[in-house]
Amino acid sequence: MQQQFQCPRCKSPISHGAQFCTNCGQPLTWQQPQSPSPAQQQRGSIDLKTSLEMGRDDTVQKLLKEASQKKKNGDLDGAIVLLKAAYNELDKHSWCFPIEVYLRLPLYLQEFGKKDEAWKEFNRLVLWVNSKPRYSCEIAPMEVSAIWDKMRLFLQREGKNDYALQFAVWSYLSWAVGLYVQKREGELEEYKAETNIQKTFKTSLHKAGKEFLIDRLVKIILDSLSNLPVVDYREIAKEVQEMMLNSKH
């Protein structure tokens, strides 16, 4: 039976010898080949030097668990206090959890109706990831992509589907940048395929009632993908906004 491995960061299945996790983009450093111990075989996870550093801290896990329980009980203030305590604990170390952990705060705020605060926190996270030394150039685009996707979902829930499309496009392009810098050429080629772009944005355009714009949107995205790893997100936003405002069936 082939030994199974997990990403030490997000716990997704990975192949032995992989340089990056295909789910979260975490760079992987493998030890020299050696016979795995029975415990390692049973556990089926990587024995990496980073495995402990990537999130098995009992204090942080306990705080996150308690925050989740507070949220379930309707105690937003208590949940936020515990989340921030967990984040402060993380800041004491050179490692950090996947961005989904940090996204809990704006998602909690949105769920409890504090929409302005949630939006500010989303934007703060984008700046934070891009300025955080611990986020390598290989991981940062993936993390920013995840944030922008949640912002897309936030806007769709608010009925702002035209504006949401901008963040859907940003998220898509940022993930492409991550694939590019990680040199995952095969995945990138599939990702850049016109059929994949059409499939990805079908729902967002449907929600906006503008499915007929798919060809124009595909062109905008393909033009941007031709310049990787450079992406002018402001210019992309301008093009998408103009397309939506001036659209005619």
3-17, 34-48, 198-212 — most confident range: 198-212
Q: Quote the pLDDT of residue 11.
A: 74
pLDDT at 55 over 80: no
> Does 37 have pLDDT greater than 60?
no
pLDDT band at 227 (very low <50, low <70, confident <90, very high): very high
Cβ pair 129, 135 in contact under 8 A: yes
**Predicted TM-score of the model (pTM):** 0.81
Q: Do residues 15 and 105 share a domain?
A: no
**Considering its fold, how many domains does the chain have in total?**
3
Q: Is the CB of residue 108 less than 8 Å from the CB of residue 100? A: no
Task: Mark which of 134, 161, 185 sits at the end of a domain.
Answer: 134
Decide: 108 and 117 in contact? Cβ < 8 Å: no
Give me 76's structure tokens.
Answer: 């937003």
Looking at the fold, whether 156 and 130 belong to one and the same domain comes out as no
pLDDT in tens, 67-106: 999 999 999 999 999 999 999 988 877 655 789 999 999 9
The answer on 63 and 26 residing in a single domain is no
Confidence grade of residue 115 (pLDDT, cut at 50, 70, 90)? very high
Same domain, 29 and 63: no
128 Cβ partners below 8 Å, 6+ apart? 102
User: Residue 50 is part of which domain span?
Assistant: 1-54
| Burial class of residue 23 in the structure, from the number of CB atoms within 10 Å of its CB (0-12 exposed, 13-18 middle, 19+ buried) | middle
